[in-house]
Amino acid sequence: MGSILSLPWFDFTVSGVVIGSIYALMAVGLALIFGVANLINFAHGAVFTVGAYVGWVCAVALGLPLWATVPLVALGGGLVGAGIEYIAIRPLNRQSRIAPLLATIGVGLILDQIVHILFGANPRALPVPMPGWRVSVGQGSIGPIDITIFVTAVIAAAALYAFLFRTRLGMAVRATAQDEDAAKQMGVNIHAVNMAVFAIAGALGAIAGLLVGIYYNAIDPNTSFQIMLKGMVAIVIGGMANVPGAIGGGVILGLIESYGIALFGASYRNLFAFAVLLLMLLVKPNGLFAKGREREAEPMTGTFVIQSMPVRPPGWLLALGVAAAALVPLAGQPYLTQVMTNAFLYALAAISLTLIAGTVGLVSIGHAALLAIGAYASALLTIAGLPVALGLVAAAAITALLGTALAYPAFRLRGHYVAIGTLAIGEIVSLVILNWTSLTNGSMGVFGIPPLTLFGVDFFSTNPSYWLVLGLVVVFALLQTRLLSSHLGRTWRAIREDTVAAETYGVGSNYYKGLAYGFAGFTAGLAGAVTAHQFSYINFDTFNLLTSVLILTIVILGGLGNVTGAIVAAVLVAGLPEMFRVLAEYRMLFYGAALLLLIRFRPRGLLGSG
């Protein structure tokens, strides 16, 4: 293997450290927040973006010097951070841990969209005069900004470490993190502490945005989620709440990516990042730097399903609803029909997610992966010559099997580790599709997927395809409702309520989670497959993270576990913005606000969780 040895490993190491220090800078803020609020702040990436744009306004539009820009950026980020605490965290104090996590996703979407509306999607240059020198390292060079990023990360971590372990407020912060009730009794003002921490983390995130913007001389409003995810992987490596560990985690992630690129090529980068994430969650959930077998992290029990009685609409009303839906094409508005077809495809996906996230309690942020598997399975099989009808069924079955197998590692995770784990699995599926070119045609996607023709009958025209999808929704809603009324329904819900107690009474929770995933995978696979035949073209990005978040929003809106609710919510969320296309420009704002407001004011959803 002389060729491997002859690679410029030193240069790869430098590259890894350079990008790793950016991850580290993100991770320090995330770790600080996790340490105090026991929460992954998904809005941290949006704070990063806000920081970059505040920086642009100061440095470019107003022409301020760097020494004036940095404190203003920190101030802006601090305010946004404090705002996140005030809006998304504080009111949810008494809810399950997953609630604030989802709320931060909502806030992130809103912030991104606001930046987008104010500044447009065009990347902007952020030319800030920097000293012109560069240091030669290996064959390349690093400049003052590379060094600034690394040094900022280290100083921030060191300062926070000193703050947490040497100052009174720091003690209060840690006391809050360890036991909120006890801290309260000792006179610690928890709200103030939390807000201070979010403000500090926000300032740090914003400065990261500014520095990284200067480094690349480019800022754009679509960076948030990616950079946040990398920061998240870094803190999982470093230990969720371990602030100095975050630096190590960031650099290690940078190195893993860099070496991965060295060995396999650039398109594998994110695959490595998410594989490492999943591996860490499963093998060393306390991080690489955890000392020995630490006391297990507090099991984040208590699912998102709060105590409520679901609304049970009478049968005649449901029948009436279905009948009305069946009449939609008669309105003679193909656009409306197509929008409703899309909405019902989302409904099918939401029915399957509401089983997993609602009934069984595995809140998944990777559900789009099941759609993708179904879509690719049916597309590839039918292109290879299988009739479409068989392709759909085979795709559903394959998704049931493969989806269950892929999700299996996440079954042993709890609370919002499930959310992170499923997110990673979802990204891994999409990246495997991207890289497994011989099977999936890679980034080219799959063209020429046959249209929906079942047994020689046209189901691809607007109206027949609508009725087909509506039919599938009705059938699978009925099937799932029937399952929920069987021993499976109570067994799944028992697992959700208390896995330990369920196991004590002989319930094999992994087996039953598998059954739920199998059934949900079948439904979702079918939804993905139908979508593929409708589009005639799919690629690895057709079903992405945003799709997953959207489906989850639908499920929460409908009421976790509530089948009827999932359908109604799909029509509202996926249908409404399209019907009022004036809203289209603010669609993401709408989704984000819907998610945030729901979790805040009606966590049981419209029709109640079951």
- Give the range of 93-101, 387-395, 421-429, 579-587 binding another protein by CB under 8 A: 579-587
How far is residue 38's CA from residue 23's CA, in Å, rounded to a whole number? 20
* Residue found by looking up tokens 């606000």 in the block: 593
382 near another protein, judged by CB under 8 A: no
Q: Of the candidates 507, 576, 593, 606, which one interacts with another protein according to CB under 8 A?
A: 507
> With binding defined as CB under 8 A, does residue 471 bind another protein?
no
| Smallest distance, another protein to C-beta of residue 114, A | 11
Residues 11-30 that bind another protein (CB under 8 A): 11-12, 14-16, 18-19, 22
**Should residue 596 be labelled a site residue for another protein when binding is judged by CB under 8 A?**
no
Q: Is 504 in the site for another protein (CB under 8 A)?
A: yes
**C-alpha span between 162 and 166 (Å, rounded):** 5
CB 57 within 8 A of CB 185: no
Enter the tokens of residue 432.
């495997």
Residue owning tokens 């045609």: 441
Contacts of 354 by beta carbon, 8 Å cutoff, 6+ apart: 555, 558, 560, 561, 562, 563, 565, 566
List the one residue from 68, 125, 135, 162 that touches another protein (CB under 8 A): 125
Q: How far is the CB of 507 from another protein (least distance, A)?
A: 5
Encoded amino acid at 101, one letter? L
Closest CA to 350 of 476, 487, 467, 510: 476
Nearer to another protein, 501 or 597 (CB): 501
* Residue pair 254/13 in contact by the 8 Å Cβ criterion: no
- 345, two tokens: 């495809």
Q: Which is nearer to another protein, 46 or 195 (CB)?
A: 46
Which CB, 418 or 446, lies closer to another protein?
A: 446
What residues are paired with 136 via a beta bridge? 141
Number of residues that bind another protein (CB under 8 A): 110
CB of 61 to another protein, least distance (A): 5
Near another protein in 192-251, by CB under 8 A: 212, 216-218, 220, 222-223, 226
| Cβ-based neighbour number of residue 15 at 10 Å | 21
Using DSSP's 3-state secondary structure scheme, residue 261 falls into helix
| Other Cβ atoms closer than 10 A to 501 | 11
Residue 482 touching another protein (CB under 8 A):
yes
User: Restricting to residues 338-357, which ones interact with another protein according to CB under 8 A?
Assistant: 338-339, 342
Rounded distance between C-alpha atoms, residue 230 and residue 278, angstroms = 13
69-108 footprint of another protein as x/- string (CB under 8 A): ----------------------------------------
**Contact region for another protein (CB under 8 A) — 42-50, 244-252, 384-392, 485-493?**
485-493
Look-up: residue for tokens 């959207």? 550
Closer Cβ to another protein, 121 or 192, answer by number: 121
Q: What is the smallest separation between the CB atom of 580 and another protein, expressed in angstroms?
A: 12
Residues 162-181 touching another protein, rule: CB under 8 A, are 181
| 294 φ/ψ angles, rounded to the nearest 5 degrees | -70, 160
CA 397-460-550 angle, 5° bins: 60
Q: Does 284 bind another protein (CB under 8 A)?
A: no
* 147 part of the interface to another protein, by CB under 8 A: no
- One of 38, 49, 337, 523 touching another protein (CB under 8 A): 337
Q: Which amino acid is at 547?
A: T
Q: How far is the CB of 298 from another protein (least distance, A)?
A: 14
Contact criterion met (CB below 8 Å) for 253 and 23 = yes
Site for another protein in 400-419 (CB under 8 A): none
- Residue of the chain from 98, 104, 237, 257 that contacts another protein (CB under 8 A): 257
When binding is defined by CB under 8 A, the residue of 67, 324, 487, 601 that contacts another protein is 487
Residues numbered 408-467 forming contacts with another protein, rule: CB under 8 A: 434, 442-445, 447, 451, 460-462
Q: Which residues contact 464 (CB under 8 A, 6 or more apart)?
A: 452, 457, 458
